[in-house]
Amino acid sequence: MSLLARTALAVTAGLFAATSASAADKVVRVWHTETEPQTIKAFNDIARKFEAKNPGIRIEAEGLAWGDLEGKIMASLAAGSPPELSHGQPITCTSLQAKGLLAPLDEVVKAVGENNIWDQVKRVCNVGGKQYGLVHAAGTSLLIYRKDLADKAGLKPPKTWNDLLANAKALTQDTNGDGKIDIYGITLPGDNLFVNIIMGELTKANGAQLFDKNNKPMLTDKKMIEILEFWRELAKYAPPGWEGHGYLQTFQNLYGQKAAMMFQGYGRGAGMIEKFAPKEMANDKTFDVWVKPHGPSGNAPAAQVDEEPWMLFKDAKNTKEAVEFLKFFYQDDNYLEYIRTVPIHFFPVTKSLRQSESYKNTEMIQRWKGWLDAQEQYLEKDWGKPTLIVEWSDMNDKPYLMEVLGSGILRDMVMDVVLEKTEPQKAAEKAQKRLEDLMKSKGYWKG
C-alpha cells in the first residue's frame, strides 16, 4: 500500500473514531427558564467545565421563556422524549410527580448537604420524604416604589390594602398641570401567569383559601370577594392597557417613570433599572421596596416565591449523568458563577454560598442590599409561597393547581370585574361554576 493510501486510510480511521466517540457521548438535555445572556453564558460555561471533567458526557442546554416551558414539557412527554432535566414551577413539579413521571433527586441533596439547603427550599416538591424537585435559586416578589416621590408626599409603608390604595391614589399625579395623568400610582401585569401569581398572594394575605379540604372551589367566599374588590380599586390607579402588559412592560412603566409603584416586582428588576433608568435615578435611593400589605381578613404579608425546581424525568435516557451534573452545578464555585448573573433575584438555596464572603462582596448586592434583605425576610418568616400555594400542604394535596392556572379561569374572573365592570359576587359565581366543572371533569371533586 502506498504512503498516500496509508495516510488516507489513517485519516479516515481517525475521523471515523472521532465521529463514533461523539456519537457515543451520553447527552444530557437541560431546559431552563433563564434567558438573560449573562445567565445563559454562565450556565454554558459550567456545562463546558463539567464536560471537561467528565469525558463522554455532553450537556445540551436550552433557555426557554416561562410561558413556553410547560407546553414544551407536555409535548415532550407525549412524544416519549422528555429532557433529562428541566425547570418547572413548583405546582408543575407536584403535578408531574403525582403522575409518576419524575425521579427523586435525593442523591443530589446528599451531595450538596441536606442541612446546607434552606428549609423553605426543601419544602418544594418533597413527597414522602423524597426530593422530586430542587430549586435552582429563589427570589420573592417585591412591592417596589419610587422612594423619592413617596418621601416628597410624606407617605408611610402600607400595612393594609387600604393603605396601599391610599398611597396609589397619592402617587397618581399630573406633574405638568395639563389635566392629564403623567405618573400612575401602580403598575400591574395582566397576563394569565402573573394574574394567577397575584391571586395566590392575595388569597394568602387575606386569610382565604382557593379550595376547601375536599377540593371544592371557594371563589364565592367572603374573603375571596374582598380580593376582587381590592383588584377593582387598585386597577383604577394603573396605566391604561395594563391588562395587556407582561412582566417586562410593567418594569418599563416603573423605570420609564410612568408608574410610581410596581406590585409584582422582582429582584432582577434592579438590573433593568441600572441599565435603562436615567443614571441619576438608577439606585435604591430612588427605587426602594416596601413589605407587602395584608387584606382586611388577613394579618400577615404574603409574597410569591419564584423558585423553579430542577426536575429529573424518570424516562429520560441519561438520568445518572444528569444527577452528576446537578451535583457539579451546586458546588459553591460553580453555583456562585450562576448566582452572580442576577444577584438580586437569585437567592442561593445553599447556606454555604449565602454565608460566603465571595457572595456577600458581590458589588451589585452591596448596591441593592435592601432589596435582598426584604426577600430574606419573606423567606425566613415563611411569608413566601410558590404560585397558587396558600399552605405548604397544598404542594402535595392539590396536584391540580397547574391545571387551574392553565385554564385561565382566575384571570377571566379578575378581568370581568376590572374591565367588564361585573360585580365581584357575580364574577365569582361565574368563575366558581367553571372551576367546579373543571374539577369534576378531571376527577378531583365529585360535587
E-assigned strands of 282-416? Answer: 287-290, 303-306, 309-313, 384-385
Sequence-distant (6+) residues with CB within 8 A of 199 are 210, 227, 388, 410, 414
Instruction: Give the separation between CA 348 and CA 339, rounded to whole angstroms.
Output: 7
Mean pLDDT over 41-57 rounds to 97
Mean pLDDT over 149-172 rounds to 98
Q: Give the cell for residue 248.
A: 417586562
pLDDT at 20 over 90: no
Angle formed by the axes of helices 66-78 and 90-98, to 10°? 10
pLDDT at 192 over 90: yes
Instruction: Give the separation between CA 241 and CA 189, rounded to whole angstroms.
Output: 10
State whether residue 272 is helix, strand or coil: helix
- Per-residue pLDDT tens over the stretch 101-131: 999 999 999 999 999 999 889 999 999 999 9
Mean pLDDT over 418-428 rounds to 98
Of the chain, the percentage scoring pLDDT greater than 70 comes to 94
Write the DSSP assignment of 297-326 as a string of letters.
T--S--EEEE-PEEEEETTSS-HHHHHHHH
Residue 212 CB-half CA count within 13 A: 11
State whether residue 50 is helix, strand or coil: helix
Q: What is the pTM of this model?
A: 0.88
pLDDT at 8 over 50: no
Write the DSSP assignment of 144-175 as a string of letters.
EEEHHHHHHHT-----BHHHHHHHHHHH-B-S
Of the chain, the percentage scoring pLDDT greater than 90 comes to 87
Looking at residue 35, its pLDDT comes to 87
Looking at residue 22, its pLDDT comes to 55
- The domains located in the chain, with CATH, are 25-138+307-367 (3.40.190.10), 140-304+400-441 (3.40.190.10)
Amino acid in position 397: D
The H or E element spanning position 223 is helix 222-234
Sequence-distant (6+) residues with CB within 8 A of 160 are 293, 294, 295, 296
pLDDT at 132 over 80: yes
- Per-residue pLDDT tens over the stretch 298-355: 999 999 999 999 999 999 999 999 999 999 999 999 999 999 999 999 999 999 999 9
Chain-centroid distance of CA 411 in Å reads: 18
- Per-residue pLDDT tens over the stretch 233-263: 999 999 999 999 998 999 999 999 999 999 9
- Per-residue pLDDT tens over the stretch 346-372: 999 999 999 999 999 999 999 999 999
Instruction: Give the separation between CA 181 and CA 201, rounded to whole angstroms.
Output: 29
On average, the pLDDT of the chain sits at 92
Q: In what order do the strands lie in the sheet with 384-385?
A: 139-140, 303-306, 384-385
Mean pLDDT over 24-50 rounds to 94
Looking at residue 64, its pLDDT comes to 85
Spatial CA neighbour of 86 closest among 140, 24, 29: 29
State whether residue 58 is helix, strand or coil: strand
